[in-house]
Amino acid sequence: MNLNQLHDNKGSRKVHARVGRGSSSGLGKTSGRGGKGQTARVGKAIHGFEGGQTPLHRRLPKRGFNNLFANDFAIVNLGRVQAAIDRGLLKGKDTITGADLEAAGLVASSRDGVRLLGKGGLKAKVNFEVAGASGSAVAAVKEAGGSVTTTFTKVVHMNKKGEPGKRLQRRRKAAEKRAKGE
């Protein structure tokens, strides 16, 4: 093989379109960029521009805010738990944890765990170990002969001394009350 016989693989090099080479080429004059102005230039930044009209994202009202520190529980009702036990997805004799409920497909994963709510009925005697439970859920589980253990503790940032401030202590108590359903 000689140097004059070397060549690239077929399809490895594409011929770029030569723009601005006459009107018969299809990409002559404006080179496929349309008319004059901002759209004909490189780096056009007109996303959301509506021709001088106030853009949609500025016309719509802005409401509410996202609380980054709010509790993020995955919720499940007792009726769905009973249906899963009837279908055999959960074993009613064991202690049911949040991971078991997630594995059975009853809840999606969440930052702070699973919270049990009292909608629907529960016939099986079941022990729950979840992050939180409403008062009606706890009453329904106890009526069926089971028990509910709540394990939620909100992570609180500490100061330099390693202790939470008074404001954060109040928040922690309020979060624990909400988790217990009080």
Instruction: Check residue 135 and give its pLDDT.
Output: 93
The whole-model pTM stands at: 0.54
Instruction: Check residue 39 and give its pLDDT.
Output: 81
Per-residue pLDDT of the chain (182 residues; tens, 9 = 90+): 899 999 999 999 998 999 999 999 999 999 999 888 888 888 877 788 888 899 999 999 999 998 887 888 999 999 999 999 999 998 877 799 999 999 999 999 888 899 999 999 899 899 999 999 999 999 999 999 999 999 987 766 667 777 777 777 788 888 888 888 76
Interior CA angle at 118 toward 114 and 120, to 5°?
A: 115
Instruction: Check residue 115 and give its pLDDT.
Output: 95
Residue 175 CB contacts under 8 Å (≥ 6 apart), including other chains: 71, 152, 154
- Alpha carbon of residue 101 to chain centroid: 18
Place of tokens 């809840």: 107
Instruction: Check residue 69 and give its pLDDT.
Output: 78
List % helix, strand, coil for the chain (3-state, nearest 5).
Answer: 30, 15, 60
Residue 50 CB contacts under 8 Å (≥ 6 apart), including other chains: 56
Q: Return the SS3 of 38.
A: helix
Candidates 165, 153, 166, 170; CA nearest to 71 is 153
Query: Could you give all domains of the chain from N- to C-terminal order, each with its CATH number?
Result: 74-153 (3.100.10.10)
Instruction: Check residue 155 and give its pLDDT.
Output: 67
Instruction: Check residue 136 and give its pLDDT.
Output: 94
The residue ranges of DSSP E strands in 37-139, in sequence order, are 74-77, 95-97, 114-117, 127-130, 132-133
Q: How many Å apart are CA 8 and CA 167, to the nearest integer? A: 70
Instruction: Check residue 129 and give its pLDDT.
Output: 94
